[in-house]
């Protein structure tokens, strides 16, 4: 399973990213995609359920979201604006496996080495096909742990993360 977690669809950028994934990436990549977040529009719900390999989980609890992040083979975090470090990125890197992003998501974070970066829909498709059956290796876990512990300590960010997300 692949997971896109925008958290809140009330933010226009989040809905735009979900629609982009559905229309430009998963239009011909038949890998299962779950989109999960709060208060999706009826348009997004309809679009997510048009294909057999895509679905939407509306208003999951914090525990459900964390469970999905941990179980997903790949977490997708495309963004259409560079607004600095995104808390959902930190959450995915601390708790998930492969993470596919674009430049706007990762730029300036110092976490580029912990993510797979695609610059277009075609690049996202290529990364998804490559990573879908690739185990999340021990060396990736060590690299990520070193990067995160150096730049973003989990204990000091956990309270902020929960406050910002919910």
Q: Please give the DSSP secondary-structure letter assigned to residue 46.
A: H
Residue found under tokens 């990125």:
89
Rounded to whole angstroms, the Cα distance separating 135 from 152 reads: 25
Determine the pLDDT at residue 9.
87
The closest of 139, 84, 78 to 114, measured between CA atoms, is 139
Determine the pLDDT at residue 162.
65
pLDDT surpasses 70 at 8: yes
Determine the pLDDT at residue 48.
95
Domain extents in the chain:
2-165
pLDDT surpasses 70 at 156: no
- CA distances to 4, 29, 78, 131 from 121, rounded to whole Å, are 15, 11, 10, 15
Rg (alpha carbons) of the chain, rounded to whole number: 15
- Residue 52 near residue 26, CB atoms below 8 Å: no
Q: What is the arithmetic mean of pLDDT over 10-17?
A: 88
Supply the pTM of this predicted model. 0.86
pLDDT band (50, 70, 90) for residue 163? low
pLDDT band (50, 70, 90) for residue 154? low
Class of the 2-165 domain? alpha beta
Rounded to whole angstroms, the Cα distance separating 29 from 24 reads: 9
DSSP 3-state of 4: strand
pLDDT, tens digit (0-9, with 9 covering 90-100), for 15-64: 999 999 999 999 999 999 999 999 999 999 999 999 999 999 999 999 99
- CA distances to 70, 118, 159 from 166, rounded to whole Å, are 19, 29, 11
pLDDT, tens digit (0-9, with 9 covering 90-100), for 63-118: 999 999 999 999 999 998 877 667 889 899 999 999 999 999 998 888 899 999 99
pLDDT band (50, 70, 90) for residue 129? very high
């Amino acid at each position: 399973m692949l997971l896109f977690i925008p958290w809140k669809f009330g933010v226009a950028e989040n809905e735009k990213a979900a629609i982009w994934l559905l229309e430009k990436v998963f239009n011909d990549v038949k890998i299962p995609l779950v989109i999960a977040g709060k208060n999706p529009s009826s348009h997004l719900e309809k679009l997510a359920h048009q294909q057999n390999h895509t679905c939407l989980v509306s208003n999951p609890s914090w525990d459900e979201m964390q469970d999905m992040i941990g179980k997903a083979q790949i977490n997708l975090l495309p963004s259409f604006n560079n607004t600095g470090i995104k808390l959902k990125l930190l959450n995915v890197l601390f708790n998930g496996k492969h993470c596919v992003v674009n430049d706007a998501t990762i730029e300036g974070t110092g976490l580029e080495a912990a993510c797979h970066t695609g610059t277009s829909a075609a690049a996202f498709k290529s990364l998804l096909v490559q990573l879908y059956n690739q185990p999340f290796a021990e060396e990736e876990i060590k690299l990520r742990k070193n990067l995160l512990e150096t730049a973003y300590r989990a204990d000091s960010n956990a309270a902020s993360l929960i406050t910002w997300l919910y």
